[in-house]
Structure 1
Amino acid sequence: MRLFAVRDYRHLFGAQVIALFGTGLTTVALGLLAYDLAGPRAGMVLGTALTIKMVMYVVIAPLAAAYIDRLPRRALLVLLDVIRGAVVLALPLVTEVWHIYILIGLLQAASAAFTPTFQAVIPDIVTDESAYTRALSASQVASTMESLLSPVLAAVALTSMTFDRLFLGTSAGFIISALLVLSTRIPDARPSTHTKAWDKAAGGIRTFLTTPRLRGIMALNLVVASAGSIVVVNTVNYVRDELGGTQQDVAWMLAASGTGTLLAALALPRVIDRITARTIMMTGAGVLAGGTIAAVTLIAVGLTTWTGTAIIWAVIGIGMALIITPTGKVLRASVARNAIPEAFAAQFSLSHLAWLITYPVAGVLGTNAGLTLTWSALAILAAAGAIAALLLWPRHDGGGTVGEFATTAWHMSSKDRTTLTKAA
């Protein structure tokens, strides 16, 4: 089955790509807006705004997953895109820091509801096993390309316009995304295995807590968030204040991390069917722990060079891709098919719970105690997460190759899968 021959998936994928790039431009512009309003305290402002984002994701995503099968999903996705477009359009008009916090809360509440809904739609549209696997990969590639190209596009755009114009492009992207979703035919949701909303919201999280390999993924989420917070929160102040760079330089440095992610994403398909998911993801954890230690060393000894920073940022991007890319297939192989939306929503919330821990560290501690101490704390968290993942995810449960893992799970009954999960 040709994946992009499925018209509805093609339109939904286009909507996802456009919305992703809009979100990427918003991230770059938000950092520059924070610097414009708060100067040296931009890290704290950005960290607080992103913490609000994480709170919304942690709280709202499971509830959204719980009610997905009760709502008209196409109308909900369109409405959420329209809300995001309107909020982003208002961001360049803010004059006070607290305005940012309110608008980011609204924006991320909509995004937190959008993502699990979108993820739950895909298996209902792409019913062929191999095509669905490719759909998961295509979604990851789209996210990878966004992390690389959004900062590059922002850097190019900033050569001829001010950063507030980036918000206009983002708003237009969300509206186009809404139109593409509106053009699709999204079927009604399958009934969940749980009848009560709270059971559905908590079902995926219970699965994570009782499945060894998924407990390992929870620890790996902390590794990703610890290293990623250095890049997302501290790049603006680091480039502007430590390196003396411009707005464009901030975007290019973020693009360095995206380049690392892209390189890993291009390399993984060559090995992903021959190496176990556990091996790939633990390698990513080691890379990220090493990247954070390198960042600490860089700033602690005063070697704040453009080349050194770009290399470390790229290494962090590589490590994040090694962990994030196989996660969706591991999740899909660990639960019954009608519980996939709940599992994805749980991972969405739990991964952002990790960011909820690390964003305030990067923002508040970075502003008040300096980047050396802040990055040291984040490096310790990354190392702790990597060690915990090794202990929580049994070595004998490599999961086979990622390809084998996904194929086996697709044909397993719910009862058989439960037996395998308990054995793991």
Structure 2
Amino acid sequence: MRLFAIRDYRHLFGAQVIALFGTGLTTVALGLLAYDLAGPRAGTVLGTVLTIKMVMYVVIAPVAAAYIDRLPRRAVLVVLDAIRGAVVLALPLAGEVWHVYVLIGLLQAGSAAFTPTFQAVIPDIVTDESAYTRALSASQVASTMESLLSPVLAAVALTFMSFDRLFLGTSAGFLVSAFLVLSTRIPDARPSTHTKAWDKAAAGIRTFFTTPRLRGIMALNLTVAAAGSIVVVNTVNYVRDELGGTQSDVAWMLAASGTGTLLAALGLPRVLDRIAARTVMTTGSGVLVAGTIAAVVLIAAGLTSWIGTTLIWTVIGIGMALIITPTGKVLRASAGHSAIPEVFAAQFSLSHLAWLITYPVAGLIGTNAGFTAAWTILAALAAAGATASLLLWPRHDGPESARTPAEITQHTLSGDPATLVRAA
């Protein structure tokens, strides 16, 4: 099945790409806004902003998933896009740091409800397994193209305009995304087997704790967050203060990480057709551990250089793609169809819980104790997550380890082989 022959997926993919590029411009602009308001303490401001984002994601995502199946999903996605576009327009008007905190809280509350809903829609539209695998890869390629091209576009734009104009690009992106979603036929969510909202919110998280492979993914979330925090939080101050770079140099360094992610994501569809997701993802965790250790050596030994930093940022980008890209496939293989929204929301929430741990380390410790201390802690957390994933995710990940205890009991009682969930 040709993936882009599916009209509704094509429109949704276009909406994702446009919104991602708008978000990418905001990522660059937000770091520069923090530097403009707080100077050398920009890392603390940015770390706090991102911590607020993670709190919203952790708290709101599972609650939103509990209620959204009662509402038309297309209308929900359109309204959330419109809200986010309006909030972003207000960001360049912020004159105090606390203004930024409030606006980011509103913005990320909308994203916390939007993203897991959007992710859960895709398997309802792309039902063929092979096409769905490619849809996951296309989604990752879109994200990595954003990581690569948004900083480049920002770098070019910053040569003839101030950074606050970049927020206009984000707002426009959200509005165009809303129009594309509006043109898509999105089926409403299938009713959950859980009647109470709290049961729905807790069901996906419970599935993670009772399914071996998903426990492994929780550990890998920590590795991704630890390595990613170095890039997301510390690039601004590191490039400006340690390397003596400009605003455009910040954007180019972020693009280096995006290049690594893009290179990995482009080759993953064929790799995932032949190699188990566990192997690919644990390899990615090893790459991220190596990248964070290299970053510690670079800063601790006083070897800071443009070439060394670019190489390390690229390696981190590669490792993140190796873990993030196959995750959706593993989630889909580990839940029944009606439980997919709950499991995607749980992953969204739990993965950002890991970022909630690592962002303050990168921001607060990086500002007050230096990059060496912060990156050493983050490297240790990355290694802990990588090691835990190997222990929690069985090497021979057969059908039994892909199911929750409740599903195993049901299969044993009924003898119905249809209850088996295939391994990713």
TM-score (norm 1): 0.93
Counterpart CA distance in 1 for 2:130 and 2:279 is: 23
Q: What is aligned with 1:404?
A: none
Q: What is aligned with 1:392?
A: 392
CA change 1:257–1:415 in 2 (3 A) is: farther
Structure 2 residue runs without a partner (length 5+): 400-410
Deviates most, 149-158 or 132-141: 132-141
Q: What is aligned with 1:252?
A: 252
Q: What is aligned with 2:356?
A: 356
Counterpart CA distance in 1 for 2:421 and 2:209 is: 15
1:88 Cα offset (Å): 0.6
Deviates most, 7-16 or 75-84: 7-16
Counterpart CA distance in 1 for 2:55 and 2:253 is: 27
Deviates most, 134-143 or 382-391: 134-143
Deviations 1:196-235 (A, max 9, x none): 1111111111111011111011000000000000000000
CA contact (8 A) 1:253 1:310 kept: yes
CA contact (8 A) 2:136 2:325 kept: no
Counterpart CA distance in 2 for 1:93 and 1:150 is: 22
CA change 1:395–1:187 in 2 (3 A) is: closer
Q: What is aligned with 1:174?
A: 174
Q: What is aligned with 2:218?
A: 218
CA change 1:418–1:377 in 2 (3 A) is: farther
Q: What is aligned with 2:232?
A: 232
Q: What is aligned with 1:149?
A: 149
Deviations 1:310-363 (A, max 9, x none): 000000001101111111111111111111111111111000000000001111
Q: What is aligned with 2:266?
A: 266
Counterpart CA distance in 1 for 2:127 and 2:220 is: 30
Counterpart CA distance in 1 for 2:198 and 2:415 is: 21
CA contact (8 A) 2:116 2:348 kept: yes
Deviations 1:347-398 (A, max 9, x none): 1100000000000111111111011101001011111111111111122227
Counterpart CA distance in 1 for 2:312 and 2:41 is: 24
1:415 Cα offset (Å): 6.5
Q: What is aligned with 2:38?
A: 38
CA contact (8 A) 1:334 1:417 kept: no
Percent same amino acid at aligned positions? 85
Q: Which secondary structure state, in structure 1, belongs to the residue aligned with residue 274 of structure 2?
A: coil
Deviates most, 12-21 or 125-134: 125-134
Q: Letter of the 1:356 partner, please give it.
A: L
CA change 1:142–1:50 in 2 (3 A) is: same
Counterpart CA distance in 2 for 1:420 and 1:12 is: 27
Counterpart CA distance in 1 for 2:75 and 2:396 is: 45
Q: What is aligned with 1:131?
A: 131
Q: Which secondary structure state, in structure 2, belongs to the residue aligned with residue 244 of structure 1?
A: coil
Count of paired positions = 412
Q: Which secondary structure state, in structure 2, belongs to the residue aligned with residue 273 of structure 1?
A: helix
Deviates most, 23-32 or 145-154: 145-154
1:420 Cα offset (Å): 6.2
Q: Which secondary structure state, in structure 1, belongs to the residue aligned with residue 303 of structure 2?
A: coil
Q: What is aligned with 1:63?
A: 63
Counterpart CA distance in 2 for 1:18 and 1:227 is: 26
Please list every run of at least 4 consecutive aligned residues from structure 1 whose deviation after the TM superposition is greater than 3 angstroms. 127-130, 412-421
Q: What is aligned with 1:49?
A: 49
Q: What is aligned with 2:285?
A: 285
CA change 1:302–1:7 in 2 (3 A) is: same
Q: What is aligned with 1:106?
A: 106
Q: What is aligned with 2:82?
A: 82
Q: What is aligned with 1:402?
A: none
1:186 Cα offset (Å): 1.9
CA RMSD of aligned residues (A): 2.0
Q: What is aligned with 1:378?
A: 378
Q: What is aligned with 1:116?
A: 116
CA contact (8 A) 1:51 1:360 kept: yes
Counterpart CA distance in 1 for 2:10 and 2:28 is: 27
Counterpart CA distance in 2 for 1:61 and 1:249 is: 34
CA change 1:133–1:419 in 2 (3 A) is: closer
CA change 1:75–1:13 in 2 (3 A) is: same
1:187 Cα offset (Å): 2.1
Q: Letter of the 2:34 partner, please give it.
A: A
